[in-house]
Amino acid sequence: MYPDAIASAAARAEKIGIRALFETDGNRFDTMSFAQDDLILDLSKTAIDGEALRALLAFAGDRGVEAGRDAMFAGRKINETEGRSVLHPALRGLPEDGFAADGRKVGDDVESVLRQMGDFADGVRDGGETGAMGHAFTDVVNIGIGGSDLGPAMATLALRPYHDGPDIHYVSNVDGAHLSDTLETLDPRTTLVIVASKTFTTIETMTNAATARRWIVAALGEDAVKHHFAAVSTALDKVAEFGISDDRIFGFWDWVGGRYSIWSAIGLPLAIAVGPEGFREFLAGAREMDRHFLSAPMADNLPVLLGLAGWWHRVAMDCPTRAIIPYDQRLSRFPAYLQQLDMESNGKRVGRDGEPVAISGPVAWGEPGTNGQHAFFQLIHQGTDIVPVEFLVGANAHEGEDMRVHQDLLLANCLAQSAALMRGRTLDEARRQLLDAGASPEEADRIAPHRVFPGDRPSITLLYATLDARTLGRLIALYEHRVFVEAQLFGINAFDQWGVELGKELAKDLVPVVTGEQDAGDRDGSTRGLVAAIQALRRK
Ligand SMILES: O=P(O)(O)OC[C@H]1O[C@](O)(CO)[C@@H](O)[C@@H]1O
């Protein structure tokens, strides 16, 4: 499945452990941390040693990571099951980058939508764009799901210190509670609704959009729809049917995957929040990472190294999950965003050739630190499964000097967690500590095993100066490319998502059963039983 050199590096890693690597080389950070400008990737607290890294880099070469990357940037149709190019980097490119799909340059189209977004965002922000009764917009509701929600919602929260536009609300769930709880607080006269859907067919989004439309029409009349709605989609014909006026329709292209679309017009709510210039800085940050991915040698290339470390933990170390723990409250939606990016991309059971793969991408999960410490870190430190942790932390906070203690504590906690995971606490150390605290030898023997931390638990730290638009752009692009690198190593297509289809089909089929128009027929016994129970409970 993978070269002997990696297998022997993995066996050596199991035997030696991470703590011993630091004992033999106290300067390990110097050789195992890497940087793109002020963004630092620390791999030193993994079991990857120099030899393992060389073997992994050679494996990346064998798996055609560079060739695959070049094919993606050249606009080749690497999403073979959907017959599409994968060109999200073009959305943050400059004209001189020369991105092209189907042999046609795309830079002018991208720039023209960006200008349209910028003009509209400025209008919403300065009151030039108004509602049907001439009021400026105080609130924007983005209706979308998956890639049409998670990216802009995560980024709007992340860039809160730069948010000087109207309030932005995100509604994704078809559960009526989501829309109802949001609209309840808003005034239709001052609310703009953005319907964001690549396909403009997603049932959750279309249902929420129709309800929001009724809310606007009930308050302001049918004619208000054209003033209070905007749409982002690749399906311009379907948007027009909804009654949205042409100048409020923002297009993008089939070479942009939903979970890679934050850089497109899907980012419109973010542009309204932080302004078009802030949005351009965000794009520029991502482009910086693209250029780094394209030009840095493999051995210094952050997306390649992060991808190799991810693959190493998943395959060579056999860890089924990874935790993403931002020590940055404003990145609290980053783990959820990465779940779609990572698992919708690399959760595949067959490779590009249609043959089963032995292992695909890991489960990604997480919560911000320090909250996670008081919830699930117990398992990460002492449970029987190894969970590689990815810490993200900024050296600087946006809060003033009077709150400096918060950032100091945050940083100290982040560093403490990765150090504790790496070094652990031996039985002897635990026993000694108990004795020093006054325990009797019998008591120390009894309690010490519970206070042992095995250590040698891997973590990766991503350190940045400050969470601003440029850095957020770099971080997201880094993870996008990491997912791509891992897909190359697994041999799978990261850009389709057939695994979401079956549930959608069955849900459509079950609607008349739930409404009682059809009976459950010959569906499975559990579904029949649950439908009967729902109907009984609904009558109560
Ligand atoms: O933007 P759309 O077309 O509404 O799709 C929303 C999401 O649904 C999915 O297709 C999966 O259900 C995602 O890939 C996508 O981001």
Q: 465-506, pLDDT tens digit by residue?
A: 999 999 999 999 999 999 999 999 999 999 999 999 999 999
State yes or no: pLDDT of 539 exceeds 90: no
Say how far apart CA 534 and CA 532 lie, in whole Å.
5
Taking CA atoms only, the protein residue closest to ligand 1 atom 7 is: 146
Write down the pLDDT at residue 1.
Answer: 76
Q: What amino acid occupies position 473? A: G
pLDDT of residue 2: 87
What are φ and ψ of residue 64, in 5° steps? 65, 35
**What is the Cβ-side half-sphere exposure of residue 263, based on CA atoms within 13 angstroms?**
30
DSSP lists the bridge partners of residue 169 as: 141
Cα 201 to ligand 1 centroid, rounded to whole Å: 9
Per residue in 424-444, pLDDT tens?
A: 999 999 999 999 999 999 999
CA-to-CA dists, residue 489 to 3, 342, 521, angstroms: 12, 14, 45
User: With bands split at pLDDT 50, 70 and 90, how would you rate the model's confidence at 48?
Assistant: very high
State the closest ligand 1 atom to the C-alpha of 147, by its place in the atom list counted from 1. 16
pLDDT for 68 equals 98
Note the pLDDT of residue 175: 98
How does the average pLDDT of the chain come out, rounded? 97
Beta strands in 96-228 (DSSP E): 100-101, 104-105, 139-143, 167-171, 191-196
Six token digits for residue 489: 């190593």
The answer to whether the beta carbons of residues 252 and 232 sit under 8 Å apart is yes
pLDDT of 540 higher than 80: no
Average pLDDT over residues 82-102: 96
Looking up tokens 């998956």 gives 146
pLDDT of residue 109: 96
Element (DSSP H or E) covering residue 230: strand 229-233
| Whether residue 315 has pLDDT greater than 90 | yes
**pLDDT for the residue numbered 504:** 92
Beta strands in 71-217 (DSSP E): 100-101, 104-105, 139-143, 167-171, 191-196
- Cα 238 to averaged position of ligand 1 atoms, centre (Å): 16
Q: Is the pLDDT confidence value at 240 over 90?
A: no
Per-residue pLDDT tens for 27-44?
Answer: 999 999 999 999 999 999
Residues annotated as catalytic are: 344, 374, 504
How close is the Cα of 10 to the center of ligand 1, in Å?
Answer: 38
Q: Are strands 100-101 and 104-105 parallel, antiparallel or unpaired?
A: antiparallel
The predicted-structure confidence for 398-427, as pLDDT tens digits, reads as follows 999 999 999 999 999 999 999 999 999 999
414 closest CA partner among 396, 391, 395: 391
* pLDDT bracket for residue 214 (50, 70, 90): very high
Whether 177 has a pLDDT exceeding 90, the answer reads yes
Local confidence band at 95 (pLDDT 50, 70, 90 cut-offs): confident
Residue 282, token pair as written in the block: 């965000």
Between CA 158 and CA 277 the distance in angstroms is 16
> Does ipTM come in above 0.95?
yes
β-bridge mates for residue 321, sequence order: 363
Spell out which residues line ligand 1, taking CB within 6 angstroms: 145-148, 197-199, 202, 205, 258-259, 344, 497, 500
Nearest protein CA to atom 11 of ligand 1, as residue: 500
Residue 228 has pLDDT above 80, yes or no: yes
Which one of 194, 340, 500, 508 would you pick to mutate in the ligand 1 pocket, going by the greatest count of ligand atoms within 8 A of its CB? 500
pLDDT over 80 (residue 325): yes
What is the amino acid identity at position 303?
P
**Model confidence at 376: pLDDT above 80:** yes
Continuous H helices in 264-399: 268-295, 302-311, 334-339, 345-346, 377-382
Candidates 260, 265, 306, 325; CA nearest to 286 is 260
Using CA atoms, how far apart are residues 256 and 84, in angstroms rounded to an integer? 9
Nearest CA to ligand 1 atom 8: 146
Of residues 56, 89, 83, the one with CA closest to residue 70: 89
Q: Which atom of ligand 1 is nearest to the CA of 344?
A: 14
Calculate mean pLDDT across residues 190-199: 97
Smallest CA separation from ligand 1 atom 14, residue? 258
- Compute the distance between CA of residue 519 and CA of residue 63 in angstroms, rounded to an integer: 51
Query: Tokens representing 56?
Result: 């992994």
**pTM score > 0.95 for this model?**
yes
